[in-house]
Homo-oligomer: A and B are copies of this chain.
Amino acid sequence: MADINARTESSDLPRGTAMTVTTGPIRGSRKIHVGPLKVAMREIMLDPSCGEAPLRVYDPSGPYTDAAATIDIAAGLPEIRSDWIRARGDVEEVDQREVRPEDNGLKGPDRSGGVEPFPNVRRRVLRAKPGANVSQMHYARRGIITPEMEYVAIRENVGRAELREKAARDGQDFGASIPDYVTPEFVRDEVARGRAIIPNNINHPESEPMAIGRNFLVKINANIGNSAVASDVAAEVDKLVWSIRWGADTVMDLSTGRNIHDTREWIMRNSPVPIGTVPIYQALEKVNGIAEDLTWEIFRDTLIEQAEQGVDYFTIHAGVRLAYIPMTAKRVTGIVSRGGSIMAKWCLSHHKESFLYERFEEICEIMKAYDVAFSLGDGLRPGSIADANDEAQFSELATLGELTQIAWKHDIQVMIEGPGHVPMHKIKLNMEKQLEACGEAPFYTLGPLTTDIAPGYDHITSGIGAAMIGWFGCAMLCYVTPKEHLGLPDRDDVKVGVVTYKLAAHAADLAKGHPAAQLRDDALSRARFEFRWRDQFNLSLDPDTAESYHDQTLPAEGAKTAHFCSMCGPKFCSMKITQEVRDFAAKQNAPADTFIAATSPDEAERGMADMKEKFRLSGSELYLPTS
């Protein structure tokens, strides 16, 4: 097995550029590629003693966790979708829009950090042929099952084949339509209906297709990106690879400072997961941070710049309409969305309706030429418990529903962003209103945070809300790190945020009754019960942390196979005693099944009387001979 959490440095980089990422398999796992489409999955190896097959799990980590892959960050990842895209015959190659100095901030790029532009930059990019629409939704509506849809179907099915013979469905799905088995046709139908999206820009052929939708596994997003105050390009590429290693399904690049174009190019070329951005952030940099100076032309040019780079979904705050803005004036925390506040300022300054709203159909034309999906931003989301579910929030949601219909008219894929800060009892209403207002377009929420009083722990205040709204039907959960409200997340924060959201999404999958979701829980519980410590670590979301916590109390190698743990010690282990109970029950005349029939205290009472009688008849020998 390759080194655990090895760091790979790219050899082919310009002088002065330090760029390293984490590579090598997740501890105890190996990468596999299934079928002719080579769908990436991970297999968790189990101790031979248990007689169980390796457990396959969904895996968005890309080639970085493949021991057989060669990683060269300066070259970028292999373009696995390139042939699929070109084979459809509806794209043409055009010259990429010239990169201008202001694309990296009004003062141009800052090279002081030693990071150069991505070396392997393309000069030619793809665009739909005139009049063509290259969105997955467009294909789906014409009845075409794309390789992307087939890939998604295989990916979503992990574990379901085995399960169909083993267990009944269990869960509460709040009206979702989760199939026993995901067929490519089901994927097509979901995309055609707008209930799922496959965000895959034709200029991001490195991406492994994935779906976001209520009837698929709940996905999570990790945010990365530098700001004017901190962070640099190398750290962002590292965070991208690190966040998908631990399970991020998509990544948003929320960079706001200089080098914004170059950072994105490094990220796009090295990302196997869809990348989302908020284009208004870059547009604002181009006008030196003065919201009033934004124009449709600058914004439009930014959309094309980013679409050509391969961004898979754009957050667009087109629901922040002029008339809604004053609804926020009496809020405790006003407008907390950056995009929302930029547009609010623009609208009020010009006393005009938002150009994002007014030019929405023109935006659609750009989206369909590259298959960029909309992530309709909730610019008026509540920033505190006090502001949850208010008029401003739900007015904007109604507009997002109206815009969804317009996008769908153009066969553009859409998801809807959601709050924010919402106490537990107001979460369900968010999901219900979103489904109704937006025609079941996938919901993509930030948290929600269920209380405001725990800065430093907002991955948890929001993990609670995320698990709940995921259960209720939210399709993707945008992670929150421990640094939320306090500072920029570092590598450790990114990992904690991703793992927290991965467990919240999984808790939601379990509660929704996703077939096969419980296989991993059960495998881990069996390993726990049988004291297979290494299997227990390896089956967990974060094997490194699990093993290191165990070793803090019992570092000896022998403790990895010991039939006890540090909590109770060798003499006093409930799991050990349970095994003795089983062994004892097996030795008794009366098999365990005799007792299992007892379903009430009364019946149990009778069961005991029977047992006593059997015991008496057997001569009151407590331990009967085994043979």
A622-B351 contact in complex given A510-B423, A540-B456, C-beta closer than 8 Å:
yes
Contact with B along A584-627 (1 / 0, CB 8 A): 11000000101110111101110110011001000000100000
B582 near A334: Cβ-Cβ < 8 Å? yes
Whole-angstrom distance between the alpha carbons of A395 and B518 in the complex?
24
- Whether A508 sits at the interface, judged by CB under 8 Å, is yes
| Chain B residues with CB below 8 A from A571, complex form | 228, 289
Contact call B546/A486, Cβ cutoff below 8 A: yes
Q: Does A58 contact B (CB under 8 A)?
A: no
Does any Cβ of B come within 8 Å of A372's Cβ? Answer: no
Which single residue of chain B is at the shortest CB-CB distance from A609?
A: B323
A142 on the B face (CB < 8 A): no
| A461 and B507 contact, CB distance less than 8 A | yes
Contact of A615 among B351, B504, B524, B549 (CB under 8 A): B351
Which residues of B lie under 8 Å from residue A70 when comparing CB positions?
Answer: none
User: Contact between A511 and B424 (Cβ–Cβ < 8 Å)?
Assistant: yes
With most chain B CB atoms within 10 A of its CB, the pick from A172, A424, A520, A584 is: A424
Q: Is A383 an interface residue (CB 8 A)?
A: yes
Query: Cβ of B256 and Cβ of A520 under 8 Å apart?
Result: no
Evaluate contact between A395 and B601: CB separation under 8 angstroms. yes
B395 and A600 contact, CB distance less than 8 A: yes
The answer to whether B383 touches A569, judged by C-beta atoms less than 8 angstroms apart, is no
When the two chains form their complex, are residues A342 and B577 in contact, meaning their CB atoms are under 8 A apart? yes
In the complex the two chains form, is A324's CB within 8 Å of B604's CB?
A: yes
Q: Is the CB of B577 within 8 A of A485?
A: no
Q: How far is the CB of A394 from chain B (nearest CB, A)?
A: 9
Q: Does A30 contact B (CB under 8 A)?
A: no
The reply to whether B455 and A540 form a contact with Cβ atoms under 8 Å apart is: yes
Tell me which residues from 320 to 357 in chain A have a Cβ below 8 Å from any Cβ of chain B.
Answer: 321-330, 332-338, 340-342, 344-345, 348-351, 353
Contact between B522 and A581 (Cβ–Cβ < 8 Å)?
no
Given A565-B487, A569-B229, A605-B323, verify A507-B451 contact (CB < 8 Å): yes
A349: chain B residues at CB < 8 Å are 584, 622
Stretch at the interface among A133-141, A232-240, A305-313, A462-470: A462-470
Contact with A567, one of B488, B502, B524 (Cβ below 8 angstroms): B488
Is B467 touching A424 in the complex (CB atoms < 8 A)? Answer: yes
Q: A348 — which chain B residues lie within 8 A by C-beta?
A: 581, 584-585
Cβ A464 vs Cβ B461 within 8 A: no
A529 part of interface (Cβ distance < 8 Å): yes
- Assess the A611–B456 pair: CB atoms within 8 A: no
Inter-chain contact B581/A507, CB cutoff 8 Å: no
Contact code string A464-503 (vs B, CB < 8 Å = 1, else 0): 1001100100000000001101111010000000011011
Contact in complex: A453, B529 (CB < 8 Å): no
Contacts of A549 in B (CB 8 A): 455-456, 482-483, 486-487
**With a CB–CB cut-off of 8 A, which chain B residues contact A468?**
424, 464, 468
Nearest neighbor of A607 in chain B, beta-carbon distance: B323
Alpha-carbon distance A460/B497, docked complex (angstroms): 11
What residues of B have a CB within 8 angstroms of the CB of A332 in the complex?
A: 522, 525-526, 529
In contact, B461 and A423 (Cβ under 8 angstroms): no
Write out the residue numbers on chain B whose beta carbons fall within 8 Å of the beta carbon of A545.
456-457
Question: Are A345 and B453 interface neighbours, CB within 8 A?
Answer: no
Q: Which listed residue (B456, B486, B584, B600) contacts A398, Cβ 8 A?
A: B600
| CB contact between A518 and one of B336, B385, B507 (< 8 Å): that residue | B385
Closest-by-CB residue of B relative to A321 is B604
Please state if A455 and B536 are interface contacts (CB–CB under 8 Å). Answer: yes
| A43 interface hit (Cβ, 8 Å) | no
Query: Is A110 close to B, CB under 8 A?
Result: no
Chain B residues near A554: list those with CB within 8 A: 229, 487
Query: Is A171 in the interface zone, CB < 8 Å from B?
Result: yes
| A321-B601, A453-B539 known; A553+B485 contact, CB < 8 A | no
A525 engages B384 (CB within 8 Å): yes
Separation of A227 and B542 alpha carbons in the complex (Å): 26
- Chain B residues near A399 (CB-CB < 8 A): 601
Q: Is A521 in the interface zone, CB < 8 Å from B?
A: yes
Q: Assess whether B577 is in contact with A344, with CB atoms less than 8 Å apart.
A: yes
Q: A521-B451, A578-B336 are in contact. Are A423 and B323 (CB under 8 A)?
A: no
Residues from chain B with a CB closer than 8 A to the CB of A383 are: 525, 528-529, 575
**Would A521 and B384 count as touching, CB distance under 8 A?**
yes
In this assembly, does A111 line the interface, its C-beta being within 8 Å of a C-beta of chain B? no
Contact A507 B464 (CB under 8 A): yes
Partner of A608 from the list B323, B577, B608 (CB cut-off 8 Å) is B323
Question: A296 on the interface (CB 8 Å rule)?
Answer: no
**Known contacts A230-B566, A321-B601, A456-B545; 8 further A-B pairs (Cβ under 8 A):** A227-B567, A322-B608, A335-B578, A402-B601, A450-B467, A450-B507, A451-B503, A457-B542
